[in-house]
């Protein structure tokens, strides 16, 4: 059988694409033994699915490209789609302002399973290579050769290797002439240099913080760890940090409460708690990162996410060089970019 469309990746973007193509012969290929493996662990297993506050300001990447994609399928359209299919996410701002969560990450997975019932699923199936001959894609997999007239690459990034993350999407893009912008772990904690070794004494402590990095100001909880620091505000900071200093305000609000452990740790240190300058040593790496920043260069894609170099080849979701802050932004991007194919 030659499929109309093959989709590599059964994460958020791949499932969204498949759910909209049920009138065609579609197959979805994934290395995991079930669909939605990364959705399953997201948002503390409650799936932080989108955010009330949505614009390109919350993303790293080509702002014009992001705005065009989000305009086609924004948070309101996503929520309407979810509601129509029996999901009613609610805002929970304990972690990040404006974030919508499902009751459980099983909810969107179950929804998509119903929506893609007509889709042939090749699970526990790894893509090894892709060729294009005689107007069709030949996809070499561990289950044998799969052929399709069109191909959607929704394989994600390098984060969560335990959930089957591979670099196959980037390899395919390179093979067809695309530029892959520098890949790095993102939404990840920082390791620290010697001046910040005092952070390790506070391991497990969480405080409010305001951080300035690369002309961005971010607010949220900062968590001290035995390796350095993490927590929501640090994760979003990691998206924008390349190297050099960041500025930390440990008491950003009038009502800010500084725990005794924190006061004790800085008692004999001459630091400005409202403008503490630090240069992270690095980050915790892909095994701890929630997403991968970098990826397929957007100027080489059409507004429909199609390759400008190879007809009928599409790249969506995390494999593209667009990455959002913590708070549902990356799921929104996954769904929005999938919607743009054929729209």
pLDDT of residue 71: 97
The verdict on 114 and 32 lying in the same domain is yes
pLDDT of residue 43: 86
* Number of domains the chain contains: 2
Dump pLDDT digits (tens) for 129-167: 999 999 999 999 999 999 999 999 999 999 877 777 889
Residue ending a domain, choose from 268, 283, 298: 283
The one-character DSSP state at 305 is S
Q: What is the CATH number of the domain that holds 215?
A: 2.40.30.10
The last residue of one of the domains, among 266, 283, 300, is: 283
With residues binned 3-state (H G I as helix, E B as strand, rest as coil), the percentages for the chain, rounded to 5, are 30, 30, 40
**Domain at 173, CATH number:** 3.50.50.60
Q: Which domain holds residue 320?
A: 2-184+287-340
Q: Are residues 237 and 268 in the same domain?
A: yes
24-54 tens-digit pLDDT: 999 999 999 999 998 998 988 899 999 999 9
Rounded CA-CA distance 75/91 in Å is 12
Residue 62: pLDDT over 80? yes
- 159 and 236 within one domain: no
Q: Domain check: are 279 and 300 in the same one?
A: no
| Predicted TM-score (pTM) above 0.95 | yes
Give residues with Cβ within 8 angstroms of 343, minimum separation 6.
Answer: 72, 73, 304
Q: At 202, is the secondary structure helix, strand, or coil?
A: helix
């Amino acid at each position: 059988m030659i499929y109309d469309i093959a989709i590599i990746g059964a994460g958020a973007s791949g499932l969204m694409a498949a759910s909209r193509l049920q009138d065609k012969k579609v197959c979805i290929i994934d290395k995991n033994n079930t669909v939605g493996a990364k959705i399953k662990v997201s948002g503390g297993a409650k799936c932080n699915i989108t955010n009330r506050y949505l614009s390109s300001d919350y993303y790293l990447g080509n702002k014009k490209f992001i705005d065009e994609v989000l305009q086609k399928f924004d948070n309101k359209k996503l929520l309407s789609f979810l509601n129509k299919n029996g999901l009613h996410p609610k805002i929970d701002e304990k972690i990040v302002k404006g974030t919508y969560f499902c009751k459980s990450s099983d909810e969107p997975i179950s929804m998509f399973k119903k929506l893609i019932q007509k889709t042939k699923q090749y699970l526990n199936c790894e893509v090894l290579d892709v060729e294009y001959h005689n107007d069709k894609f030949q996809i070499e997999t561990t289950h044998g050769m799969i052929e399709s007239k069109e191909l959607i690459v929704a394989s994600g990034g390098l984060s969560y290797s335990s959930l089957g993350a591979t670099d196959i999407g980037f390899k395919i893009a390179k093979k067809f002439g695309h530029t892959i912008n520098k890949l790095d772990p993102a939404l990840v904690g920082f390791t620290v240099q010697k001046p910040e070794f005092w952070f390790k004494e506070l391991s497990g402590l969480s405080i409010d913080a305001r951080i300035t990095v690369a002309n961005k100001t971010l607010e949220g909880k900062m968590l001290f760890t035995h390796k350095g620091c993490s927590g929501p505000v640090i994760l979003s900071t990691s998206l924008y940090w390349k190297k050099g200093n960041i500025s930390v305000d440990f008491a950003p609000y009038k009502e800010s409460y500084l725990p005794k452990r924190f006061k004790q740790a800085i008692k004999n240190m001459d630091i400005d708690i409202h403008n503490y300058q630090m240069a992270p040593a690095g980050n915790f790496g892909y095994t701890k990162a929630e997403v991968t920043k970098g990826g397929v260069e957007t100027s080489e894609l059409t507004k429909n996410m199609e390759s400008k170099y190879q007809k009928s080849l599409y790249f969506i979701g995390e494999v593209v060089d667009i990455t959002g802050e913590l708070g549902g932004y990356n799921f929104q991007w996954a769904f929005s970019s999938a919607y743009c194919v054929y729209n």
